[in-house]
Structure 1
Amino acid sequence: MLSVQNIDKSFDSLQVIQDLSFEVKDGEFVAIIGPSGSGKSTLFQLIGGVSSIDKGAILLDGTDIQQKRGTIGYMPQQPCLLPWRTILENVTIVEELQQKPNVELAKEWLAKVGLASFINAYPNELSGGMQQRVSFIRAIVSDKPILCLDEPFSALDEFTRLEMQAWLLSIWEKYRKSILFVTHSIEEALFLADRIIVLSKRPATIKQEIIVPFARPRQEEIRHSETFTALKEQLFMFLKEEKDDAYVD
């Protein structure tokens, strides 16, 4: 379980995060939404050990992971694949850096997501959606207890984005890795997550938490339901309040 406890983070005189606390349980899919500039990416840097917190604690299964890199799986907005490495080599690069590459596991996962015939291909030979699958597999083969996905589908066209959402859910429902998912899309958060955390404007704190009521496995039809529409409107109003407040500060 990931436990973020009363953390603060500032950059010089700019406070980005203030007294922020939440948990992600084992096997839970939690989405984070918030206004632009509210500190979502900074939060991932803190969880991943790239940057240090000013106050509070970040615990993973009870262990303090403050400034400890390599404790989480991470998938950025862009696939960030090295163009001179094959797909298989891109998947194993994190484990290579830790001097324990598991080539067979990487091959197994690439086969599971329909990319077995592309292991010797290069990134420019793959579509955007296929590159995102490779990026996700690179994160998952690291075998970390939680995956942090930072707007992983934001650069994709609408059709590919919907396809990747369904694909991600199919993988998650089978293996139930804990996922913390940052997105700007309210609809994406509602379709994917068990729980949605709404951040306030900077300095970020939790404005609201919503339990998503839809059964698993998720069906596309829920996007057209009255409940989905009502929750989407509710979340939109939460974000609009934060944006409107930002203009009068």
Structure 2
Amino acid sequence: MLSIQNIAKSFDALKVLDQLSFDVKDGEFVAIVGPSGSGKSTLFQLIGGVSPIDQGAILLNGEDIQQKKGTIGYMPQQPCLLPWRTIVENVTLVEELQHKSNVERAKEWLEKVGLASFIHAYPNELSGGMQQRVSFIRAMVSDKPILCLDEPFSAMDEFTRLEMQAWLLSIWEEYRKSILFVTHSIEEALFLADRILVLTKRPATVKKEIIVPFERPRKEEIRHSAAFTALKQQLFMYLQEEKGDMYVD
């Protein structure tokens, strides 16, 4: 599926990534945590073809996707919905740009996630959580082999965030898209992912890889288990070792 091979990236004299390597398998949910400023968003820019790498390789199903745009599905921190377009028009935007819009498929997806009555509404008529659902569906209907989600729930209140985590898992359990998920929340990473990659401080490389042992489908009760708490403390310790200015919860 996705193979990141010894990549490095600098901006002038600032080295952001160094010898960073990992894989994401078909249907796997991989979370990335690390200190603030360790290059997590930069990594997504490189995978998405927005910026060139200095060295190494980025392969998707064996194909070099360096500086090739449109090869991944992407969901940013903010929904980034166009206010003058209806919800269904926002969902079909990426496909329109690729000259293959499918309005009926977009409507079917919106119905699946409980937004059937908002198809012709505008973004300002939706709550923050509903807007993020639309943003995720837009990434899903693009039908890319992997979705890169960049802290999609970070701006939400705690209750909405928990609700959105459960919602995301329910969709992922059904369709098993490969997901690469950046988060500052250790608990979120543990609840959602199959594997967690802990990055070092800048220039970032992989410090630790954690295999999450909890069975699927995940239940809310797992958050209160001794095993969950122990892993959370272990991950926090790895991040503390990197020191620096960071936020984890």
Whether these two folds match at TM > 0.5 is: yes
Deviation at 1:100, TM superposition (A): 0.7
One-letter amino acid of the structure 2 residue matched with residue 191 of structure 1: F
Write the distance in 2 (CA, Å) between the matches of 1:64 and 1:112: 34
Deviation at 1:243, TM superposition (A): 1.3
One-letter amino acid of the structure 2 residue matched with residue 82 of structure 1: L
Name the count of aligned residue pairs: 246
What does 1:12-31 correspond to in 2, within 5 Å?
A: 12-31=12-31
Write the distance in 2 (CA, Å) between the matches of 1:214 and 1:225: 10
Write the distance in 1 (CA, Å) between the matches of 2:73 and 2:245: 35
Deviation at 1:45, TM superposition (A): 0.1
SS in 1 for 2:83: coil
SS in 1 for 2:243: helix
Aligned partner of 1:116 in structure 2 is: 116
One-letter amino acid of the structure 1 residue matched with residue 98 of structure 2: Q
Deviation at 1:245, TM superposition (A): 10
SS in 2 for 1:243: coil
Write the distance in 2 (CA, Å) between the matches of 1:102 and 1:141: 9
Aligned partner of 1:43 in structure 2 is: 43
Write the distance in 2 (CA, Å) between the matches of 1:208 and 1:105: 40
What does 1:1-249 correspond to in 2, within 5 Å?
A: 1-243=1-243
Write the distance in 2 (CA, Å) between the matches of 1:204 and 1:101: 38
Contact 2:92 2:101 in 1 (8 A): yes
Which consecutive residues of structure 2, in runs of 5 or more, have no partner in the other structure? none
Which consecutive residues of structure 1, in runs of 5 or more, have no partner in the other structure? none
CA deviation digits over 1:128-161, x for unaligned, max 9? 1000000000000000000000000001100000
Deviation at 1:170, TM superposition (A): 0.1
Write the distance in 1 (CA, Å) between the matches of 2:5 and 2:151: 23
Calculate the TM-score normalised by the size of structure 1.
0.98
One-letter amino acid of the structure 2 residue matched with residue 42 of structure 1: T
Write the distance in 2 (CA, Å) between the matches of 1:26 and 1:4: 14
One-letter amino acid of the structure 2 residue matched with residue 208 of structure 1: K
Deviation at 1:215, TM superposition (A): 0.1
Write the distance in 1 (CA, Å) between the matches of 2:159 and 2:165: 10
Write the distance in 2 (CA, Å) between the matches of 1:9 and 1:153: 27
Write the distance in 1 (CA, Å) between the matches of 2:105 and 2:53: 34
CA deviation digits over 1:181-233, x for unaligned, max 9? 00000000000000000000000000000000000000000000000000000
Deviation at 1:244, TM superposition (A): 5.4
CA deviation digits over 1:82-117, x for unaligned, max 9? 001000000000111111101111011000000011
One-letter amino acid of the structure 1 residue matched with residue 221 of structure 2: E
CA RMSD of superposed structures (Å): 1.0
One-letter amino acid of the structure 2 residue matched with residue 97 of structure 1: L
One-letter amino acid of the structure 1 residue matched with residue 62 of structure 2: G
SS in 2 for 1:20: strand
Write the distance in 1 (CA, Å) between the matches of 2:199 and 2:2: 18
One-letter amino acid of the structure 2 residue matched with residue 170 of structure 1: S
One-letter amino acid of the structure 2 residue matched with residue 130 of structure 1: M
Write the distance in 2 (CA, Å) between the matches of 1:65 and 1:245: 32
Write the distance in 1 (CA, Å) between the matches of 2:182 and 2:40: 7
One-letter amino acid of the structure 2 residue matched with residue 183 of structure 1: T
One-letter amino acid of the structure 2 residue matched with residue 204 of structure 1: A
